[in-house]
């Protein structure tokens, strides 16, 4: 059902929603972007509508709200473990179409790659998604090429336009909250075309794996891992045990985001590593995004949000690399 409100009415409803739900949305953080004094748009908990950045694409994806950068799995003493409580309130996450498609990829790994992940699942069950429309294409995104530019997999759609706000309610859980609005036909804004267009390589073979392109792009990479950390579909983590200074018998086991571009990712005892060369790491990342995942699960992993291109300090363009690879594979 679609409704129209004044922006003020919407702000009031929102404030009430924020009491019942923990709301996570992109907000502008002053001066801690890639190039230090540039603002960065990142997810955080908000309590009012004004805090939400509706226009600019978030530099980091929503995934922090589902998969914390570091997450305590359990506290331990020498012979006991205690699992921390999960979220007590339901969560609302504001995100765009490409990112809603990314949720499906996270679910795939954390709920449906043989084992179910206890921590992800208990948070995921509490989450409702609020779609933010895209009236215009973002800078480096190529959602239309990846078929992620449209979605109907949202619980709410909210658009603020001047003094008005529009809502489309898909989940009955919210019908009561919005029922006093003026009925209106509300259709989300979806982009049809991006500036960046990507053609995926067809006929990927063993020869593709040794393409010079991976050398060329890999040699510029400084292994900072940012392309993985901003990606809404990257899911890797490492385990970490920490103990407390004042009582060494007590501590916690955590999982922490990991990056396949950073040193140590494949390292095993004795200092052996499997992809010591940057060209191999670049190939590994790109192949996962546009080939391996698809081979395993039947659809592409990359949703074309373009964040990896936005963030790379070496101006490595993943989308350009894919297009060149597609040409090579013709």
Ligand X SMILES: Cc1cc2nc3c(=O)[nH]c(=O)nc-3n(C[C@H](O)[C@H](O)[C@H](O)COP(=O)(O)OP(=O)(O)OC[C@H]3O[C@@H](n4cnc5c(N)ncnc54)[C@H](O)[C@@H]3O)c2cc1C
Is 227 near ligand SF4 (CB under 6 A)? Answer: yes
* Interface with other proteins (CB under 8 A), residue from 11, 104, 292, 324: 292
Is 236 near ligand X (CB under 6 A)? Answer: no
- The string over 170-208, giving b where at least 16 C-beta atoms fall within 10 Å of a residue's C-beta and e elsewhere, is beeebeebbeebeeeebebbbbeebebebebbeebeeeb
Residues with Cβ < 8 Å from 147, sequence gap 6 or more?
none
* Interface with ligand SF4 (CB under 6 A), residue from 164, 177, 223, 320: 223
Mask: binding to ligand SF4, 233-252, rule CB under 6 A, as x and -?
x-------------------
Query: Least CB distance from residue 258 to ligand SF4, whole Å?
Result: 12
Residues with Cβ < 8 Å from 202, sequence gap 6 or more?
326, 329, 330
* Interface with ligand SF4 (CB under 6 A), residue from 13, 252, 289, 321: 289
Residues with Cβ < 8 Å from 132, sequence gap 6 or more?
54, 94, 95, 96, 157, 158, 159
The maximal CA–CA distance of the chain, rounded, in angstroms, is: 67
Work out what residue 116 binds among other proteins, ligand SF4, ligand X, none; the CB cut-off runs from 5 to 8 Å by kind.
other proteins
Is 261 near ligand SF4 (CB under 6 A)? Answer: yes
Q: What part of residues 95-114 is at the interface with ligand X (CB under 6 A)?
A: none
Mask: binding to other proteins, 113-142, rule CB under 8 A, as x and -?
xxxxxxx-x---------------------
Q: State the SS3 of 32-83.
A: CCCCCCCCEEEEEEECCHHHCCCCCCCCCCHHHHCCCCEEEEEEECCCCEEC
Is 137 near ligand SF4 (CB under 6 A)? Answer: no
Q: Is 240 helix (H, G, I), strand (E, B) or coil?
A: strand
Work out what residue 288 binds among ligand SF4, ligand X, other proteins, none; the CB cut-off runs from 5 to 8 Å by kind.
other proteins
Q: How far is CA 45 from the centre of its chain?
A: 16
* Site residues (vs other proteins, CB under 8 A): 73-74, 76-79, 81, 83, 109-110, 113-119, 121, 209, 235-243, 248, 251, 253, 255, 258, 260, 265-270, 274-275, 280, 284, 287-288, 291-293, 295-296
* Site residues (vs ligand X, CB under 6 A): 267-269
């Amino acid at each position: 059902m679609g409704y129209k409100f004044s922006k003020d009415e919407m702000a009031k409803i929102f404030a009430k929603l924020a009491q019942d739900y923990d709301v996570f949305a992109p907000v502008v953080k002053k001066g801690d972007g890639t190039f230090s004094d540039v603002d960065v748009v990142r997810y955080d908990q908000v309590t009012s509508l004004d805090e939400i950045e509706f226009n600019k694409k978030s530099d980091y994806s929503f995934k922090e709200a589902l998969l914390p950068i570091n997450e305590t799995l359990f506290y331990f003493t020498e012979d006991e473990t205690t699992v921390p409580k999960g979220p007590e309130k339901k969560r609302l996450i504001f995100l765009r179409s490409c990112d809603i498609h990314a949720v499906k990829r996270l679910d795939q790994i954390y709920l449906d790659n043989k084992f179910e992940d206890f921590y992800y699942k208990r948070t995921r069950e509490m989450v409702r998604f609020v779609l933010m429309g895209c009236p215009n294409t973002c800078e480096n995104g190529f959602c239309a090429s990846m078929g992620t530019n449209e979605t109907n997999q949202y619980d709410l759609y909210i658009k603020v336009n001047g003094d008005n706000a529009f809502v489309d309610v898909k989940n009955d859980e919210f019908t009561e909250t919005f029922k006093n609005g003026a009925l209106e036909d509300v259709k989300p804004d979806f982009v049809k075309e991006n500036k960046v267009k990507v053609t995926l390589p067809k006929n990927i073979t063993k020869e593709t794996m040794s393409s010079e392109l991976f050398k060329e792009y890999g040699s510029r990479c400084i292994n900072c891992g940012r392309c993985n950390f901003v990606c809404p579909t990257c899911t890797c983590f490492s385990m970490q045990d920490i103990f407390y200074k004042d009582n060494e018998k007590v501590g916690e086991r955590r999982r922490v985001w990991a990056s396949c571009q950073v040193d140590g990712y494949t390292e095993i005892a004795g200092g052996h590593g499997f992809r010591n060369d940057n060209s191999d790491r670049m190939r590994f990342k790109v192949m996962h995004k546009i080939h391996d995942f698809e081979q395993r699960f039947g659809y592409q992993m990359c949703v074309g949000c373009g964040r990896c291109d936005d963030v790379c300090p070496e101006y490595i363009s993943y989308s350009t690399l894919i297009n060149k690879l597609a040409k090579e594979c013709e």
